[in-house]
Amino acid sequence: MMKIGGLIQHYIPIIFALCEKQDHAEFDRLCDRAYSKDVLDVNFPFCKPISEISALENRRYWSQVYIVRGMSVRVTSQWFDPPTSKSRPFLLRYLERQGIGVIDAARTDPVSAAIDNSVIEQTKKLSRGRYKGNAIGNAQNLVVRNILSNLGTEDFGEKHWRQVIEDFGGLCVYCGQDSELVMDHVVPINRQSLGEHRLGNLVPSCKGCNAIKGDKDFRAFLSAQPDRIAVIETHMDRHDYVPVSENEQIRQIIELAHKEIVQVASRYIDILNTLTVGQNVKRGET
């Protein structure tokens, strides 16, 4: 299934073409925050003139510039799939009301399907039903975390982390308690969320909140506490951290790496099994 960010980017030119050719007023409505929230379940205007985007809002809009009715605008990047928001179903209903054809976002091209099926079969082969055996998924997750932990050129040490703790007053960012603190990634480091190991994505958390939050995005975890969400977003802005979760190219590369681990492990297991079978035959074993 196509991620919500990729889906939106697919439809941006189509929506703007409708604004240019059929409904000029729709462009004005899409620049309105209340309309965008009501119709698309997004917390920022669908699009906004470049001249009106503040420094704090900059990271909440994609860098691509569109010219609509003679005005230069950028489109918000703040789209999330459930449980964080209902943007996807809202978008599909919006497209249907506007008479825009809805693509089958779940459709996979034949080449990708063949690769996926191959990986599924190899994964099954690697799952040998051995009690407490090392699952291939563990290796896949470690590789993804390693890749995401090393993106970019940012360097920081313990003193920088200590400064982050001080910035939050030595308190848990989620509950505000003064207790033993651990390092938490507000955007989780996994192939779904694509968080990174960067200062802007690191906050102090008590062990309790860290355990309860788990792999949830901070916005979902703090959905009832917008003030704490705002504090974390200010921290992200201070350290120039822009999540890459809606970058479809990065997501596709991570998915490729995830699949290749299965293929590499399967290949070497086959090689070693062929070798050991030969050795067993020489020893007279069956």
Structure-block tokens of residue 145:
């975390």
Question: Per-residue confidence of the chain (286 residues) as pLDDT tens digits?
Answer: 677 888 898 899 999 999 998 889 999 999 999 999 999 989 899 999 999 999 888 889 998 999 999 999 999 999 887 666 678 888 988 998 998 888 765 344 444 445 455 655 666 566 556 666 677 788 888 999 999 999 888 999 999 999 999 999 999 999 999 889 999 999 999 888 899 999 999 999 999 999 999 888 898 899 889 999 999 999 999 999 988 887 777 888 888 888 888 888 888 888 888 877 655 555 555 5
CA 23 to chain centre: 33
Report the pLDDT value the prediction gives residue 108, as an integer from 0 to 100.
Answer: 40
pTM of the predicted structure, to 2 decimals: 0.58
Report the pLDDT value the prediction gives residue 191, as an integer from 0 to 100.
Answer: 86
Report the pLDDT value the prediction gives residue 110, as an integer from 0 to 100.
Answer: 45
Q: What is the 3-state secondary structure (H, E, C) of the chain?
A: CCCHHHHHHHHHHHHHHHHHHCCHHHHHHHCCHHHHHHHHCCCCCCEEEHHHCCCCCHHHECCCCEEECCEEEEEECCCCCCCCCCHHHHHHHHHHHCCCCCCCCCCCCHHHHHHHHHHHHHHHHHCCCCCCCCCHHHHHHHHHHHHHHCCCCCCCCHHHHHHHHHHCCCCCCCCCCCCCEEEEECCCCCCCCCCCCCHHHEEEEEHHHHHHHCCCCHHHHCCCCHHHHHHHHHHHHHCCCCCCCCCHHHHHHHHHHHHHHHHHHHHHHHHHHHHHHHHHHHCCCC
Report the pLDDT value the prediction gives residue 199, as an integer from 0 to 100.
Answer: 95
Q: Write down the domain spans for the chain.
A: 4-97, 111-238
